[in-house]
Amino acid sequence: MEERVPSAECSTEYFAPPPHSPPHSPPSSPPSHHNSIIQPLPIPPGLKTFVIRTPRDQVYRVPPPENSKIVESYIKKNQEKKGPGNCIWILLGLVILGVSLGLFFGVVAALYKPEIPEFEITDFKVTQKHPKQEYEITLNVKNPNARMEVSYGGDRYGLLSFDQKKVADGKFEPFSQEAEKSSNLTINLKERAQGQLPSEMESSMNSNKTKKAESLGFKMFVTATISSWAKTSHREITVPCTFKVNTLAKDTRIIYQDCSTEVQ
């Protein structure tokens, strides 16, 4: 926007001294009442009025150098005031932030610490004897985590043994559990293609006269994924079990079982 500079007018008035009265001039009459008001003197013939105009191209729009010196001195004073005190406040803020983050992650780690699922054999029976033996084993699976769910995947298979000899195996479908939930898992086991069924086990299954308690072994392999919004953990789990049944013939029931969990 163009700046307008009002024109400056300078008037210079020159008053010439009154001419000397001619000699022997008669005395002037005293002023009357009507002439007591002072009248302005007439403009002498030599009076001139001057008008000074400043060209527009000489109107400065850049601040004078004195202003920049004032700003520089002000900035310098502010920088001197900051000094090492601000660094201390920054370091203190960083320390507080670090402590807060440490406490947050510590609480999350404590509340969302993955716990390994628990397994227990609840039922076992022989479903088929000829031409090949088939078995059905049921386990109760418990998720002990209060805030984390568990998904079971990976290889997902079980292995049945008698007198430390592998006799049957089978796979099961993947499944999942919500926090602090329990569910039953049933696995169908079929006689292995290689090897022969131990004679003692076979005679126990075919005996109808006497019931003899038998001890067996079972091992399950599964990948457990324990997850929540805070963290996710993958664990390769092996579940070795030993259990005893009242008989391998009809009406088989569990009389003892013990399962543990091994994390690889």
Same domain, 125 and 71: no
Interval 77-104 mean pLDDT = 79
- Same domain as 130, residue 97: no
Task: Using the predicted structure, report yes or no on whether residue 124 has a pLDDT greater than 80.
Answer: yes
pLDDT band at 110 (very low <50, low <70, confident <90, very high): confident
Is 29 a residue whose pLDDT tops 60?
A: no
8 lies in a domain? Answer: no
Residues 196 and 158 in one domain: yes
Q: What is the predicted pLDDT for the residue at 236? A: 95
Residues 176, 235 share a domain:
yes
CA 117 to chain centroid: 29
Total domain count, the chain:
2
Residue 70: its pLDDT value, please?
78
pLDDT at 7 over 90: no
User: Does residue 183 share a domain with residue 71?
Assistant: no
Containing structural domain, residue 168: 118-263
Which is higher by pLDDT, 53 or 202? 202
Instruction: Provide the pLDDT for residue 141.
Output: 97
- Predicted confidence at residue 177, as pLDDT, reads 96
Q: Are 63 and 183 members of one domain?
A: no
255 with 174, same domain: the answer is yes
Tell whether 214 is covered by a domain.
yes
**What does the chain look like in DSSP terms, one character per residue?**
-----PPEEEEE---PPPPPPPTTPPPPPPP-STT-SPPPPPPPTT-EEEEE---GGG---SPPHHHHHHHHHHHHHHHHHHHHHHHHHHHHHHHHHHHHHHHHHHHHHHHT-----EEEEEEEEEEE-SSS-EEEEEEEEE---SS-EEEEEEEEEEEEEETTEEEEEEE---EEE-TT-EEEEEEEEEE-SSS---HHHHHHHH-SS----EEEEEEEEEEEEEE-SS-EEEEEEEEEEEEEES-SSSS--EEEEEE--EE-
- pLDDT class of 3 with cuts at 50, 70, 90: very low
Which tens digits make up the pLDDT trace of 152-209? 999 899 999 998 899 999 999 999 999 999 999 999 999 886 667 788 888 888 777 6
Looking at the structure, do residues 81 and 189 belong to the same domain, yes or no?
Answer: no
State mean pLDDT over 204-221.
Answer: 84
pLDDT of residue 255: 94
Instruction: Please give the pLDDT value at position 200.
Output: 84
Is the pLDDT confidence value at 6 over 50?
Answer: no
Give yes or no: residues 255 and 176 share one domain: yes
pLDDT in tens, 126-147: 998 778 889 999 999 999 999 9
Mean pLDDT, to the nearest integer, of 50-79?
68
- Place 13 in a pLDDT band, splitting at 50, 70 and 90: very low
131 and 89 belong to one structural domain: no
